Amino acid sequence: MSVRNWGRVRGVWTVMRNFLVISLCKVLPDIEFKNVLYRRVGIKIGKDVTIMGSSFDIFFPELIEIGDGSTVGAFTVILTHEFENDSWSRGKIKIGKNCLIGAMTVILPGVEIGDNCTIASYSLVNKSIPPNTFAGGVPVRPLGKT
């Protein structure tokens, strides 16, 4: 199934609502109010999480989990689905506690980022990262310990 048939994957009104809420949150200054709205579309957000102007998957935001004390940098993209020419897939994304996701990072479906990780800006996270790791690059690779 191609992206042209996305309406068969998820309800049109659900996707439209998610798009509006997530788009609004990109520009809202109040962090706690944004987190309330993100939770309303199903994203699991822990305590003291800071999200700065990021884009979340509008099809399956309920597959995203962000642990306590984590920060997601500006213009980061978190995707829980992928449309290909003849198929599509989805996967959960879990960001652990006390993580720092650098600006303009892309996180693909099925990835788990362990607790206390730092992901460098401009990284492509296409595989899981163990706890207490500093990682970065395209594609991402471990660069050291945090």
* Residues 17-43 pLDDT 10s: 999 999 999 999 999 999 999 999 999
Query: What is the set of domains in the chain, with CATH numbers?
Result: 3-145 (2.160.10.10)
Residue pair 118/70 in contact (Cβ under 8 Å)? The answer is no
Higher per-residue confidence, 83 vs 94: 94
Mean of per-residue pLDDT scores for the chain = 94
User: Which residue, chain included where needed, has tokens 């989990």?
Assistant: 65
Give alpha helix (H) positions in 28-83.
31-40
Write down the pTM of the prediction: 0.92
* Residues 40-76 pLDDT 10s: 999 999 999 999 999 999 999 999 999 999 999 999 9
